[in-house]
Structures are given as structure tokens and as C-alpha cells.
Amino acid sequence: MEAQRTAVESYALGGGHRIVAEYVEVESGKHDDRPFLAEALAACRLHRATLCIAKLDRLSRSVSFISRLHDGDVDFVACDAPYANRFMINLFAAIAEHEREMISQRTKAALAAAKARGVRLGNPNGGAALLPGCKIAAAKAGALLAQRADQRAIQVMPLLQQLEADGCTSARAMAHALNLRGVPAPSGRPLWYPEQVRRVMRRGANLDRTG
């Protein structure tokens, strides 16, 4: 995920573009029902922006889906093929779709062969046996991430409050000021964007209310 984020940020910085918002979609590119992608497209329509994704196959592995996007009202660009025309993008999507189908066929064939040899597939105790451990691990990971985000907000909030007092009243102005000062963005990324400023301010406000 970080590599994809870096690719998008580098593309935007190199072209003199501004990132309006960031949406992280974890659904597979083989699925067309993508709630975060739908939100990103809606944001693009609102801001008259271009949808930028790190890799074309992360957008979709379906030729029909890519074609519908082409025929829609939102422009999009893939960082791994920024100068590709419509024909090339459809070709890449066709290759990705074929690759997806081949992977699926190979997986099914391997499972069938293993079953024929008498191999027991899956967890013998059932998937439910893995669920408690997964939930505990996910909860611990989420708590750690939240703690780090809280600590970062505590560190940055005084600077944001000072910037606000100095006349930087918008998230865009604050992000620009932070970048000029060389303040590291969350997760150590080199640039701040308005949405990151808003997140830190919301988290800081929540900490004030709860602390």
C-alpha cells in the first residue's frame, strides 16, 4: 500500500498536481462492486478532478469495467502507464483479465489434483477456529495504529494551532506551511495534503474532548 501511495504522490508532485483526497480500496481488482472507488469517483466529479491510481490492474482487471469508466464523466490515469491511450489501456486491461482467469484456473486445477491425492483441504477445525485469533491480532494492530496516530496528533497540534493563529485558516494553507517548514507528514511521507491536516485536527479535537 505504501508503494502505491508513493507512486501516486510522486506522479502528482512531478506533474505539479494537487491531491484533493485519498481513498484506499482493499477490494480485489477483479470485483466491480467497489464502494471506495465509487466514493473516489464521486469526489472527482465534485472537484472536477482526475482519478489517479498507482497501477491499472488495481483499478480493475475487467475490460468491460474499464470501458465503462472510459465512457463515463471522470478522467483517470494510471501511474504505471501515464501516457497510455484508450487502446493501450484496454489492451492492458485485457491482459490483466486473461491473467486473472489463468490464475483462477491454475488454482482450481491444483486444488483438484491435491484432493484427488487424498489431501484434506482447509482447516480441519473449520474457519471459525481461526476467527478469535484473527480478531485479537486485528484489534491489537488497530490499537497500535491508533496510539501512534494519537501521539502524532499531540506532536503536531500545537504547530497547527499556531499556524491558525497566524492566519492559516484552511487545511490547504496549513499543508502548504507544513511543507515549507519541512515537517514530516504522517507515516514519514515527504508531503502534507489538506486531507491529512483535517484528519490530524479531527483526532486532536477528539483527544481534547476525551482527555
Cell of 29: 481488482
Are the CB atoms for 205 and 157 separated by under 8 Å?
no
How would residue 138 be classed by pLDDT, with cut points 50, 70 and 90? Answer: low
- pLDDT value at position 120? 72
pLDDT reading at 164 higher than 60: yes
Are the CB atoms for 52 and 77 separated by under 8 Å?
yes
How would residue 159 be classed by pLDDT, with cut points 50, 70 and 90? Answer: confident
For the chain, which domains are there?
Answer: 2-88 (3.40.50.1390), 132-210 (no CATH)
pLDDT reading at 4 higher than 70: yes
Rounded to the nearest 10 degrees, what angle do helices 171-181 and 131-165 cross at? 90
Q: Once rounded to an integer, what is the mean pLDDT over residues 62-68?
A: 72
In this prediction the pTM is 0.44
- pLDDT value at position 137? 67
Reported as a single tens digit per residue, the pLDDT across 10-23 is 888 888 888 888 88
